[in-house]
Structure 1
Amino acid sequence: MSPESTGQNEHNLTVYRRGFRTWRGNRPFWAGLFTMLGGAPIAYFPYADLHLGNMTLAMSTTAGAGSLIIGVLLITLGLTMWFHSIVRVFAGVAAILLALISIPVANIGGFVIGFLLALIGGALSISWAPGEPAADEADPQDAPLSLDKRQPESGYASEGALHGAAVPQQPAGDHDAASGYDGGTHRAG
């Protein structure tokens, strides 16, 4: 190895950080994190004891098992959002419903903290959409094929336009009978 090579001398922490950033960007990371953080107080508070000097204040309720189940399900849904992002909409709806159910069951939704975190996490999961690959990374083999195999005529888009390049278009109301261009997005046959 020579000292001029740049790829070999990166610090391991930088490599892990970039790998984590890539992993985080391909899934609803923040939705899963908020959902898991919302499940923790919902599951914890019914079993917690607060000690004030010689006095012990127990916050357990009759529905302690219900709040434990809700908290564990919210944590499971958060992990599902991370590792199976294809079901993110289902996981988000389920997280919102469990957060709403936690209000009467689990000490006002983990004293509102768990309720709000799970609600935000579910909403983020529903609204998250996977990103499109960059244009330079797109495979030209994946480009949509045209049904018309003729070469582009005048008035039609160039070959570069079929692969995502910007092409100026005529105004929508214009109609050019010679080229078959009708101002829409369809090619005349």
Structure 2
Amino acid sequence: MSAESMATGHDEHFLRGLRRRFSTWRGQRPFWAGLFTMLGGVPIAYFPYADVRLGNLTIAMATTAGAGSLIIGVLLVTLGLTMWFHALVRVFAGVAAIILALVSLPVANIGGFVFGFLFAMIGGALSIAWMPGEPLPPTAEGTPAEDRAVPEAAALPAESSIEPGEWGAPVPATSDTPETTTETNGGRKSAG
């Protein structure tokens, strides 16, 4: 790479492009749901096999539920990856993450000392709640989509199924219309 290309900011442009592509990828899937679910699986799987050393004292959390904790943790990490790479099954993955988080409370050292439980519950809930966004319509160059005004003809339906004078339709004002209208008569048609 030459000194001229570094001075003109070609690397900055490359990094900006990577950031834009990552942002687009992240917006098309329940990214935070997958991240929280994976973060929930790590402490659930790790703590039963960890040894904490305090000076000469070794604290081991090995229990008979070590295999169950490992299975729950690996399944939560797998569900988080599924949320990222197969967004169509996000509701199933979210429900499964919530169920595994609840099962981890009695099986896996109080759900990875509550940290794993909370992360997995939040990730599952975010996965269930996530919906894909509507794509923006193509715009003319130089005109942002947010600044364009919607034409009035596009905002109104072409034909109205409500005939004038029907319930809920505006009553046309004519010279023979009595003083009492549908607005002042509580929505009822007046006799006359």
TM-score (norm 1): 0.71
Q: 1:74 to 1:9 in 2, by over 3 A?
A: closer
Give the superposition deviation at 1:120: 0.1
1:167 aligns with 2:156: yes
Q: CA deviation at 1:168?
A: 7.4
Equivalent residue for 2:28?
A: 26
Q: Which residue of 1 aligns with 2:70?
A: 68
Equivalent residue number for residue 154 of structure 1: none
Residue 133 (structure 1) shift: 1.0
Match for residue 144 of structure 2?
none
CA distance in 2, matches of 1:110, 1:79: 20
In 2 relative to 1, CA 11–43 (structure 1 residues): closer, same or farther, beyond 3 Å? same
For the residues of structure 1 that align with 2:11 and 2:57, how far apart are their CA atoms?
Answer: 58
Partner of 1:3: none
- State the partner residue of 1:44: 46
Q: Secondary structure at the match of 1:130?
A: coil
User: 3-state DSSP class of the match of 2:155?
Assistant: coil
Identify the residue that residue 175 of structure 2 maps to in structure 1. Answer: none
SS in 2 for 1:50: strand
Code of the residue aligned with 2:43 in structure 1: it is P
Q: Which residue of 1 aligns with 2:58?
A: 56
Q: For 1:10-159, what aligned pairs fall within 5 Å after superposition? A: 11-136=13-138
Shift of 1:9: 8.0
Q: Structure 2: state its 5+ residue gaps.
A: 1-9, 140-150, 170-192
Cα displacement string for residues 15-62 of structure 1 (whole angstroms, at most 9, x for unaligned residues): 100000000000000000000000000000000001011111101111
Aligned mates of 2:12, 2:19 — CA distance in 1: 11
Q: Which residue is 1:4 aligned to?
A: none
Distance 1:26 1:108 in 2: 34
How many residues align structurally?
149
Identity of aligned residues (%): 71
SS in 2 for 1:11: helix
Q: Which amino acid aligns with 1:167?
A: L
Deviation of 1:12 (Å): 1.3
Match of 2:163, as an amino acid?
A: H
Q: Equivalent residue of 1:51, what SS? A: strand
Q: Which amino acid aligns with 2:61?
A: M
Structure 1 position 169, deviation (Å)? 9.0
The DSSP-based 3-state class of the residue aligned with 2:67 is helix
Which protein shows a greater Rg?
Answer: 2
